Structure 1
Amino acid sequence: MKEIKIRYSKQRELIFNNLKNRYDHPTAEMIYQDLKIDYPHLSLGTVYRNLNQLVETKQIKKLDLGDTMVHYDGNIQPHMHFMCNCCQTIYDLDNNDEKIIKQFEQTYKHHIDVIDINMSGICESCLEKKAA
């Protein structure tokens, strides 16, 4: 697979660092709103363009979890996601990819490179609110 190289950009670095320091799986609009306070000349189009380049170069993940917005994740280590159907919060879930891969490879005789598991349901906080 050919490695994609992109030229350095101060704006891309700002966007990348903003995402790497977050755990809320933001949308492009959320990153834009966060950065425009200190960088008023930054445009939403620039944020989208740079996020797409960061996804292409596999520096970040693009999450399409079935809701109307695309979210981004600065954590590129293997992990699963859980999205609450009530509050729309996205949670990282640690997993043991090696165990899952071995189980599927033994069962289906395929070679698996990547596992991308996304789950949805109701989070603990929303369940507690409903019970109260």
Structure 2
Amino acid sequence: MRRLTATLAAPLAASALLLAGCSSSTNSTTSTGTTSAAAADTIVIKNFAFSPATLTVAPGTKVTVMNEDSVTHTLTSTASPHAFDTGDIAAGATMTFTAPGKAGSYPYICTIHTYMHGTLTVS
């Protein structure tokens, strides 16, 4: 019985050391920083609303739009001429567009559900 315990204890201890070595606070910080940076330039469509309702970005920034609803939406500038238009974004899909190069406030809507609206501020 002692031999079986010793035989099992050594691999378990080695596995614990390997797993401990795989996790580090540096990797967590890097991952969190990357997520935060990506989330900063992202608009999420959920429950028939844009979140955040107002997003501020630098000129020419790539903005990601994630449709977490179960229906198709658009994110279309109402400024004339249209500064940006994602076209149809299917349920569960993600689309990217480039923010205008000129500073300003750019209201937008979903052209399918016109009560959905938000503002992209470029500064």
TM class by shorter chain equals under 0.3
TM-score, normalized by length of structure 2? 0.26
- Write 1 or 2 for the structure with the bigger share of helix: 1
- Write 1 or 2 for the structure with the bigger share of strand: 2
